[in-house]
Amino acid sequence: MLIEALRSPALRPHPIGSALRAHRLFVVVLCLAAALRVVTMLGYRPAQLYWPAQLYWYDSFTYLDVASHLRPSLGFHPSGYPLLLWALRPFHSVAVVVGVQHVMGLATGLMIYAVLRRRSLPAWGASLAAVPVLFDASFLRLETGVLSDTMFIFLVVAALTALLWSPRPSLTACAGAGTLLALATLTRTIALPLLVLVLLCLAVQRVGPRRLVALSVAGALPLVAYAGWNAQVNGKFTLTGGEGVVLWARTMTFADCAVIRPPRAEAGLCPNGARQDAASEYVWDPDASLNRLPGGRDGNNDLARSFALRAILAQPLDYLADVARDTALTFAWTPVPHPRRTTPAFGFARGQWGLPDHPLVQKVREEYDPGVRGLRSVDPYAGFLIAYQYPAYLRGPVIAAILLLGGLGAVAGRRSAALPWGVAMFLLVGPVAVLDFDHRYVLPVIPVACLAAALGAAELAPVLRRLRNRTVAQPSGN
């Protein structure tokens, strides 16, 4: 009877309890990360809303305005992020938006941990790989802003999770990853080449034509549908309307029209003496050549694209040198302000930051959140975060080491690290190649690079063991 009692279901280990014990280290890590996000919401209220008066683009209010009247855009940003804001609009609270983004940040760390445990990494190794996205103060700040970056990071990591869950991704996983990458593209168009990169990686891994087709079709359909929507509303079959302008701004750091020899129609886009300390600044400089043309940047996107491509083809080495120089800013120990007017890190501070009396601000108050106001810090929570941000910042050389480890694993291992490492390297260089370096653009690199580094370390370990055993087994010479 005692044996039968011990076999009773009531005394068997509960599945949830077993799971908590198996992952207790990460449960503690995740709870601490969640507590940090609660402190952040208490310390900075209601949300960081970006506006030119704060020396930033007015991205936040543009997103909220589009969400109030959901539509495709011919500006610099597609409407993927406004779609999320539109879904949250019934709450009429930007604080709810911030809360959802904090949950996305936690979910990103959870996905990294889950994939690595699925690939048989120990709990401590999988937890360590998730630490930067869960605890770096830059991610806490990013999640408090009404910006598309947190959603973008979540979607990219989710796509990689689907593809890396099994050594050979299933048909469903490939289709899901294609859809997630399409949504990432509609959030930030820099993800569009990632579809091609992922297809190439899967083709090299010989996953089979059906899986490649599933990813291609699932990735293409949302993009074609959105471009068709844009054609119906705005008359142009496109995802955005500003890619030519940003690429033109990239060329303003090296363009020499004596070498380029542009046709008469593009000659007005040559450098005209306006000087900025970063390529992205030329987009907004009223004295820059593009902004002095009739129609300005909004009416000359196609012309700007043509000039930029012509400049890159005429001066490829100058272009590559500028891209390499700006990308290298990632690896500085002390964050470099680029452009100089920005605060690249350690942005938690005490104060109250008001909003201007502007029609767009008032419109957002009326249509999205009546309580929209400038950000303010609240002690003692803000004081804690101000002190926390200095040690809790991933320095440039550490990012370089993480990328190097992932790259070594991709070359020497069984190539499971190759996909996330390739994605991380593209996310690092891609934004610089099409516009400029920005510390904010580096943040999507970090969780993907950590995933690649952990997989790379797992693949390098047996290689190093074999080399060591081979060295030990060789008889020493006399």
pLDDT for 27 beyond 60: yes
Check pLDDT > 90 for residue 465.
no
The predicted pLDDT at position 8 comes to: 45
In this predicted structure, what is the pLDDT of residue 466?
65
Q: What is the pLDDT of residues 94-125, one digit of tens each?
A: 999 999 999 999 999 999 999 999 998 999 99
Give the pLDDT confidence of 236-262 residue by residue, as tens digits. 899 988 889 999 999 999 999 999 999
Examine the pLDDT at 26 and tell me if it is beyond 90: yes
Q: Which amino acid is at 305?
A: R
Residue 1: pLDDT band (50, 70, 90) is very low
Highest mean pLDDT (candidates 165-169, 310-314, 465-469): 310-314
Mean pLDDT confidence for 438-460: 93
pLDDT at 468 over 80: no
The mean per-residue pLDDT over the stretch 129-141 comes to 96
8 A C-beta contact, residue 336 and residue 344: yes
Average pLDDT, stretch 398-425? 90
Q: What is the pLDDT of residue 73?
A: 83
Summarised one tens digit per residue, pLDDT across range 69-94 is 999 987 888 999 999 999 999 999 99
Mean pLDDT over 45-49 rounds to: 88
Give me the mean pLDDT over the 382-389 stretch.
95
Its pTM stands at 0.91
Reported confidence tier of residue 454, pLDDT bands at 50, 70, 90 = very high
- For the chain, the domains span 20-241+332-468, 245-320
User: Binning pLDDT at 50, 70 and 90, where does residue 54 land?
Assistant: very low
Question: What pLDDT, on the 0 to 100 scale, is given for residue 104?
Answer: 98
> What residues pair up with 45 in beta bridges, in sequence order?
376
Exposed e or buried b per residue across 170-203, where buried means at least 16 C-beta atoms within 10 angstroms of its C-beta: eeebbbbbbbbbbbbbbbbbbbbebbebbbebbe
CA distance 63 to 49: 10
Taking the mean position of all CA atoms in its chain, how far away is CA 293? 33
Q: Which of 249-253, 269-273, 351-355, 389-393 has the lowest mean pLDDT?
A: 351-355
pLDDT confidence bin for 10, thresholds 50/70/90: very low
> Could you tell me the two tokens for 83?
């779609």
pLDDT digits (tens, 9 = 90+) for 163-185: 999 989 999 999 999 999 999 99
Predicted pLDDT at 265: 92
At 322, is the pLDDT very low, low, confident or very high (cuts 50, 70, 90)?
A: very high
Beta bridge partners, 48, equal: 145
Which of 28-42, 130-144, 397-411, 458-472 is the least confident region?
458-472
Beta strands 44-45 and 376-377, pairing class: antiparallel
Q: Is the pLDDT of residue 190 over 50?
A: yes
Q: What is the mean pLDDT of residues 353-378?
A: 90
Say whether pLDDT at 451 is over 60.
yes
Residue-level pLDDT at 19: 66
Give residue 52's pLDDT band: very low, low, confident or very high (50, 70, 90). low
Residue by residue, DSSP assigns 172-201 as HHHHHHHHHHHHHHTT-GGGHHHHHHHHHH
Name the band, by pLDDT with cuts 50, 70 and 90, for residue 474: low
pLDDT over threshold 70, residue 39: yes
Read off the pLDDT band of 476 (50, 70, 90).
Answer: low
The reported pLDDT for the residue numbered 80 is: 94
d(CA 437, CA 458): 31
- Average pLDDT of the chain is 89
Q: pLDDT at residue 56 above 70?
A: no
Q: What is the DSSP string of 382-451?
A: HHHHHHHTTTSS--HHHHHHHHHHHHHHHHHSSSTTHHHHHHHHHHHHHHHHHT---HHHHTTHHHHHHH
Count of C-beta atoms within a 10 Å radius of residue 300: 22
> For position 419, what pLDDT does the model report?
94
Instruction: State residue 433's pLDDT score.
Output: 96
